[in-house]
Amino acid sequence: MRDDALSRRSLLQAGAGLGAGLAAATMAAGSGAIAAAAPRSGKPLLIAHRGASALRPEHTLAAYAKAIEDGADYVEPDLVATKDGVLVARHENSIADTTDIAARSEFASRKTRKTIDGEAQEGWFTEDFTFAELKTLRAKERLGAMRPESQSYDGAFQIVSMEEIADFVAAESAARGRTIGLIPEIKHSTYFAGIDLPQEQRLIDIISKSAYLRRAPFAIQSFEVANLKALRGKIGAWPNIRLVQLIGDPTQPPADMLAASLKQTYGDMLTPAGLAGIANYADYLAPHVRMIIPVDKDQRLVKPTRLVEAAHKAGLLVSIWTFRPENHFLAADFRSDQGDAARNEAGSIAEMQRYLATGVDAIFTDDPALGRRAISQA
């Protein structure tokens, strides 16, 4: 699941229809036997989406450093595997958009076409490179000129492994005197298992070898289901670990269900019965922001759905993704007149505060400094 693609569709094209479907799916949440509402202690958690990715190239130590400096409670590494089985932080296993691979003549012959989770793609992919080879590449800003500050760092930073991230966050925690959580997402679980590079046990092994990860707040996310269910039985020794069910396009099934020819969609998972099922193996439900408050045909916010209430009644906490500070990504209610690509701090803070008022337990943002201001002022 490419969450950027879902984000743009929800934000700029399909908000009203998506909201109507979710409202119908959760309408029955107030009836029948339900679990006690999941409690939230203190203010909502602030999660740095790929680090401070509005200001530094995503999934670099610089992005994580900036996020921690700006007050993030958790930093998020998306995890994919290399040819030699190292888990590295990239949003996708396709690396054309986030590295300088296209300019590296020594790797030109490795450009290829693949089908990943049902989507045909062309480019360069992490599983075709060793970790040492990926270390020779340099990160670049995925959104280009829309994020000039981040783009100014193109070519400065390496791809990093999960072990490197864990060591870095542990050092930052010690230096700053506060605990910083990690919330990795396992990307394309079924695909990687199918090419003999399963990620879940590799992640468990990394946790088991890290004194910091065994005690720090830690959550594992996935858009798939089977891997989270399997992980539920493996993490009992670590009470600090939570599991997060990410929710994609409600009309589509998770990739593992698609591969198994099962028809259950994300929308089915948002019914009262579906939410109760998720609560049997996960701690958090993580839907897109527009599933909480949709937008209409003019991209203005409408009435909130009852999804937060329904998830809480099922015993789930709710984290929502993703807030971005540019006009391009904001609901029309909050955009300025400075142009589509303009950075709009006031608008982003106001939008986050509108969503925080629905009772969500955590938010993902590309700009943790703005997220911290929104939470502090809510």
* Tens of pLDDT, residue by residue, the chain (378 residues): 445 545 444 443 444 445 555 555 554 444 333 233 344 558 999 999 999 999 999 999 999 999 999 999 999 999 999 999 999 999 999 999 999 999 999 999 999 999 999 999 999 999 999 999 999 999 999 999 999 999 999 999 999 999 999 999 999 999 999 999 999 999 999 999 999 999 999 999 999 999 999 999 999 999 999 999 999 999 988 999 999 999 999 999 999 999 999 989 999 999 999 999 999 999 999 999 999 999 999 999 999 999 999 999 999 999 999 999 999 999 999 999 999 999 999 999 999 999 999 999 999 999 999 999 999 998
Question: Rounded to an integer, what distance in angstroms lies between the CA atom of residue 271 and that of residue 28?
Answer: 8
Domains of the chain: total:
1
Would residue 137 count as lying in a domain? no
Would residue 109 count as lying in a domain? no
Question: Rounded to an integer, what distance in angstroms lies between the CA atom of residue 304 and that of residue 322?
Answer: 17
Residue 23 token pair: 């409202």
> Concatenated DSSP letters for 105-141?
GGGGGG-EEEEETTEEEEE-BGGGS-HHHHTTS-B--
pLDDT of residue 42: 80
Question: Rounded to an integer, what distance in angstroms lies between the CA atom of residue 148 and that of residue 136?
Answer: 24
Of the candidates 182, 199, 184, 194, the one whose C-alpha atom is nearest the C-alpha of residue 255 is 194
Question: Rounded to an integer, what distance in angstroms lies between the CA atom of residue 330 and that of residue 245?
Answer: 24
Would residue 277 count as lying in a domain? yes
- CATH code: domain of residue 226: 3.20.20.190
Would residue 105 count as lying in a domain? no
Question: Rounded to an integer, what distance in angstroms lies between the CA atom of residue 243 and that of residue 247?
Answer: 13
DSSP class of residue 225 equals: S
Answer yes or no: are the C-beta atoms of 64 and 48 closer than 8 Å: yes
Would residue 57 count as lying in a domain? yes
3-state secondary structure of 53: coil
Residue 234 token pair: 């493996």
Helices 200-209/162-176 angle, 10° precision? 40
Would residue 273 count as lying in a domain? yes
pLDDT of residue 14: 40
Question: Rounded to an integer, what distance in angstroms lies between the CA atom of residue 219 and that of residue 284?
Answer: 9
Q: Which sign, positive or negative, has the C-alpha torsion 287, 292, 295, 300?
A: negative
Would residue 32 count as lying in a domain? yes
DSSP class of residue 37 equals: P
Residue type, 118: G
Range(s) of the domain holding residue 203: 3-91+161-377
Would residue 107 count as lying in a domain? no
3-state secondary structure of 252: coil
